């Protein structure tokens, strides 16, 4: 069942809004990106619940290099989604520093957050977050609507992205007519159409069987090989094993990083 709550729809709108007047500034920043795609320095996050406050992320330190393929693993409630939402500038943090390339992301206005998000980041969610009454083609094309691109051009580009994820023949189908794996492919095509530098995927295989999960990981690996940095949150060790490096989270703390045997320095490994 797609998540149609007001909060989810609002989040989807925020993901896709693209203030056009800021494009030039963002394009200028893009050329200045350092080899580090993102870096967190002692980041803390609290949720205020009634009168008390829940310390959800504790002094998080992590760095992801440009072109890396990284997983974040941890038990339910360990703070993975909160961390990913901060990285995706969907949520703010309370202390520390978050650097996206050479830009410190902190207490941005919604407009500023939207332009960094839309210029750099593509999102993929466990529940796909597709619009149920739109076709696959329209779902993929939606981010281009916010760029003021004509319908004809949007649909032409969206068709190319659907082809890239192997769904050209499914363009006119709505999500309810598609399998979970197909819906996730549509969501990935939608994430790619904005030409992001970074894909953030929150349990992208969480609703899929293991064979379909491997197919989605094949697709994410292929995307990684084109030079895009990919960060996947997962419960599944088989999914994590497909990435170059796994960051482990427990009770809001980074408790370790594993790299597969034989990997070179994981932090700075370039796309191969």
Ligand X SMILES: Nc1ncnc2c1ncn2[C@@H]1O[C@H](COP(=O)(O)OP(=O)(O)O)[C@@H](O)[C@H]1O
Q: Which is nearer to ligand X, 54 or 263 (CB)?
A: 54
Among 5, 21, 51, 76, which residue interacts with ligand X (rule: CB under 6 A)? 76
Q: What share of the chain is helix, strand, coil (3-state, %, to 5)?
A: 40, 25, 35
Measure the CA–CA gap between 153 and 206, rounded to whole angstroms. 33
The distance of closest approach from Cβ of residue 184 to ligand X in the complex, given in angstroms and rounded to an integer, is 18
Q: How many CB atoms lie within 10 A of CB 254?
A: 20
Taking CB under 6 A as the criterion, which residues in 81-110 touch ligand X? 81-82
Among Mg ion, ligand X, none, what does residue 261 contact (CB within 5–8 Å per kind)? none
Could you tell me the smallest distance in angstroms from the CB atom of residue 80 to ligand X?
Answer: 3
Binding mask 160-199 for ligand X (x = CB under 6 A): ----------------------------------------
Name the CA radius of gyration of the chain, rounded.
18
Asked if residue 271 lies in contact with residue 224, where contact means CB atoms within 8 angstroms, the answer is: yes
Alpha carbons 178 and 189: distance in angstroms, whole number: 15
Q: Which is nearer to Mg ion, 81 or 229 (CB)?
A: 81
Taking the complex as a whole, the smallest distance from the CB of residue 111 to Mg ion amounts, in Å, to 27
244 binds Mg ion (CB under 5 A): no
The contacts of residue 147 (CB under 8 Å, 6+ apart) are 18, 20
Does residue 213 interact with Mg ion by CB under 5 A? Answer: no
Residue 82 touches Mg ion, criterion: CB under 5 A: no
Comparing CB distances to Mg ion, the nearer of 71 and 81 is 81
Please, is 212 exposed, middle or buried when counting C-beta atoms within 10 Å of its C-beta (0-12, 13-18, 19+)? middle
Residue 81 interacts with Mg ion (CB under 5 A)?
A: yes
* Number of residues located near Mg ion, criterion CB under 5 A: 2
How many H-runs (helices) and E-runs (strands) does the chain carry? 9, 10
Binding site for Mg ion (CB under 5 A): 80-81
């Amino acid at each position: 069942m797609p998540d149609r709550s007001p909060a989810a729809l609002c989040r989807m709108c925020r993901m896709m809004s693209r203030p056009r007047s800021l494009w030039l500034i963002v394009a200028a920043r893009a050329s200045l990106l350092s080899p580090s795609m993102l870096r967190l320095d002692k980041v803390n996050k609290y949720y205020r619940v009634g009168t008390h406050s829940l310390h959800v992320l504790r002094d998080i330190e992590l760095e992801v290099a440009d072109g890396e393929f990284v997983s974040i693993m941890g038990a339910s409630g360990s703070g993975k989604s909160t961390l990913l939402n901060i990285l995706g500038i969907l949520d703010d943090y309370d202390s520390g520093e978050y650097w996206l390339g050479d830009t410190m992301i902190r207490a941005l206005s919604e407009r500023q957050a939207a332009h960094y998000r839309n210029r750099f980041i593509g999102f993929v969610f466990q529940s796909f977050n597709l619009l149920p009454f739109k076709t696959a083609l329209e779902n993929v094309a939606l981010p281009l609507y916010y760029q003021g691109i004509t319908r004809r051009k949007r649909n032409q580009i969206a068709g190319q992205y659907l082809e890239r994820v192997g769904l050209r023949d499914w363009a006119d189908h709505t999500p309810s007519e598609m399998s979970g794996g197909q819906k996730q492919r549509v969501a990935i095509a939608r994430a790619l159409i904005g030409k992001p530098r970074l894909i953030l995927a929150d349990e992208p295989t969480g609703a899929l069987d293991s064979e379909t999960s491997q197919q989605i990981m094949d697709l994410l690996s292929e995307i990684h090989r084109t030079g895009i940095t990919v960060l996947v949150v997962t419960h599944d060790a088989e999914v994590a094993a497909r990435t170059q490096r796994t960051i482990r989270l427990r009770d809001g703390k980074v408790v370790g990083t594993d790299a597969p045997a034989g990997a070179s320095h994981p932090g700075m490994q370039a796309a191969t």
